[in-house]
């Protein structure tokens, strides 16, 4: 019998909450309020509260959330934004779309997130913002990062696209810096039925600015356009779906955690596999379960032959992407990041992943890593 294990299973999730989702969608259809409106405000308030901050603005997607947050922070041509290179391209795009220059720092090999010790050397008088990425759902070392940022008078914007509900010392992603951005892309831990994103912050004026640029730079009314803006509003249908799903998020995160523990129990004793771990005081949202393996390509092929999906997050760091070549990045600039990119492999992980299937996946990974290396 051929097996087929996906990376995520959104159908399984829908089956669990079908009546709630169907009612939420039906409600919006009947209200014919398709853009913004009460449901959007309700979801913004609920998600802000979930993160532990007072203000939020829904936008069209996570890339816009980053781009518009940087614009609202006043980032402009000639400014520099410090971030990491092992992230999804959107983190870099947001910087470039504001005509600013990305400055990449290397990451901590234990958490794969921004190494605070590398920050100091990256500052120049033009540094405006730091964007740590909570990669795979694991929060970056925010306390140390914010200390350095404060000493230089720059703001910290969390890219929390993968980290809904992650926390450090009980404080959640979204409340760990000046502001944070989230993506609700369908495959994220809290996923819409289309594209959606959000900017959250404790600063009301900043969120007002985001709202203004996300809705045509409006002032007093629709036809009073004070600043250059764009159309990046949160769809009401998405807000209704997300509001229905939000009440399940913590339960789903617990189910992810249970599966992560099972993977790690099965794999931790194998010297050929490097399992992901949480830093002291950190609670990952476990968006991805990403191992390191020296012979990644062969392991990928082996799992594929067994019908098991895997993915590489990310095969090429941003400083080596052709789209960013004008900044002169070259191999060897970020040794930890580059090594990770050549070794990481994400295994299937989602709340509904049957534990017996997970055990089969883990057993194949373990047996592969025990086999003597050919040659």
Summarize as ranges the residues that interact with ligand PLP (CB under 6 A).
61-63, 87-88, 90-91, 133, 159, 161-162, 183, 185, 195, 197
> 197-201 and 101-105 as β-strands: parallel, antiparallel, unpaired?
unpaired
> 344-347 and 167-168 as β-strands: parallel, antiparallel, unpaired?
unpaired
How near is the Cβ of 255 to ligand PLP at its closest, in Å? Answer: 20
How near is the Cβ of 24 to ligand PLP at its closest, in Å? Answer: 20
Q: Which is nearer to ligand PLP, 90 or 240 (CB)?
A: 90
Q: How many CB atoms lie within 10 A of CB 110?
A: 13
Q: How far apart are CA 196 and CA 164, in angstroms?
A: 14
Chain centroid to CA 335: how far?
23
Q: How far apart are CA 317 and CA 92, in angstroms?
A: 10
CA angle 302, 109, 139 (to 5 degrees): 100
How near is the Cβ of 4 to ligand PLP at its closest, in Å? Answer: 25
The answer to whether 174 and 160 have CB atoms below 8 angstroms apart is: yes
Nearest to 3 by CA among 299, 345, 303: 303
Nearest to 72 by CA among 180, 192, 221, 184: 180
How near is the Cβ of 135 to ligand PLP at its closest, in Å? Answer: 7
How near is the Cβ of 231 to ligand PLP at its closest, in Å? Answer: 15
How near is the Cβ of 14 to ligand PLP at its closest, in Å? Answer: 19
DSSP three-state, residue 347: strand
Peptide bond preceding 303 in cis form (omega within 30 of 0): no
How near is the Cβ of 338 to ligand PLP at its closest, in Å? Answer: 18
Q: Which is nearer to ligand PLP, 92 or 272 (CB)?
A: 92
Q: Which is nearer to ligand PLP, 286 or 368 (CB)?
A: 286
Q: Which is nearer to ligand PLP, 104 or 368 (CB)?
A: 104
Q: Which is nearer to ligand PLP, 48 or 133 (CB)?
A: 133
The CA–CA distances, whole Å, from 43 to 48, 196, 265, 276, 357 equal 8, 12, 37, 32, 35
The answer to whether 234 and 36 have CB atoms below 8 angstroms apart is: yes
How near is the Cβ of 197 to ligand PLP at its closest, in Å? Answer: 5
Contacts (Cβ under 8 Å, ≥6 apart) of 220: none
Q: Which is nearer to ligand PLP, 104 or 185 (CB)?
A: 185
Tokens 């992560």 sit on residue: 260
Q: Which is nearer to ligand PLP, 101 or 189 (CB)?
A: 189
Q: How far apart are CA 244 and CA 9, in angstroms?
A: 18
Q: Distance from first CA to last CA of the chain, Å, rounded?
A: 32
Tokens 């007093």 sit on residue: 220
H or E, element range at 258: helix 249-267
Residue nearest to ligand PLP (CB): 62
Helix axes 236-246, 10-31, angle to 10 degrees: 130
How near is the Cβ of 122 to ligand PLP at its closest, in Å? Answer: 19
How near is the Cβ of 363 to ligand PLP at its closest, in Å? Answer: 29
Q: Which is nearer to ligand PLP, 145 or 273 (CB)?
A: 145
DSSP three-state, residue 362: helix
Q: Which is nearer to ligand PLP, 132 or 348 (CB)?
A: 132
Q: Which is nearer to ligand PLP, 242 or 362 (CB)?
A: 242
């Amino acid at each position: 019998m051929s097996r087929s294990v996906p990376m995520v299973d959104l159908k399984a999730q829908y089956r669990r909450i079908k009546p709630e989702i169907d009612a939420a969608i039906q409600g919006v259809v009947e209200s014919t309020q398709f853009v913004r409106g009460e449901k959007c405000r309700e979801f913004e308030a609920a998600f802000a509260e979930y993160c532990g901050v007072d203000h939020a603005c829904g936008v069209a997607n996570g890339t816009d959330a980053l781009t518009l947050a940087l614009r609202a922070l006043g980032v402009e041509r000639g400014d520099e934004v410090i971030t990491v290179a092992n992230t999804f391209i959107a983190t870099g795009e947001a910087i470039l779309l504001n005509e600013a220059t990305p400055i990449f720092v290397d990451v901590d090999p234990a958490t794969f997130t921004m190494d605070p010790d590398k920050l100091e050397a990256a500052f120049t008088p033009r540094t405006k913002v730091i964007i740590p990425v909570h990669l795979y759902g694991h929060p970056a070392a925010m306390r140390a990062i914010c200390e350095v940022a404060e000493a230089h008078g720059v703001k910290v914007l969390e890219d929390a696209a993968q980290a809904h509900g992650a926390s450090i010392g009980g404080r959640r992603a979204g409340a760990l810096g000046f502001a944070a951005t989230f993506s609700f892309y369908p495959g994220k831990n809290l996923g819409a039925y289309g594209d959606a994103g959000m900017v959250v912050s404790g600063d009301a004026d900043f969120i007002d600015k985001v709202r203004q640029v996300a809705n045509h730079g409006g002032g007093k009314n629709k036809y009073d356009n004070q600043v250059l803006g764009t159309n990046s509003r949160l769809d009401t249908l998405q807000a209704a779906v997300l509001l229905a799903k939000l009440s399940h998020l913590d339960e789903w995160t617990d189910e992810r955690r249970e599966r992560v523990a099972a993977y790690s129990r099965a794999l931790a004793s194998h010297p050929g596999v490097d399992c992901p771990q949480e830093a002291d005081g950190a609670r990952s949202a476990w968006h991805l379960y990403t191992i390191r393996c020296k012979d990644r390509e062969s392991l990928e092929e082996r799992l594929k032959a067994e019908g098991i999906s895997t993915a590489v997050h990310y095969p090429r760091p941003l400083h080596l992407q052709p789209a960013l070549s004008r900044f002169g990045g070259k191999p060897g600039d970020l040794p930890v990041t580059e090594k990770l990119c050549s070794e990481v492999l994400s295994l299937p992980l989602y709340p509904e992943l049957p534990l017996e299937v997970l055990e089969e996946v883990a057993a194949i990974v373990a047996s592969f890593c025990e086999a003597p290396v050919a040659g």
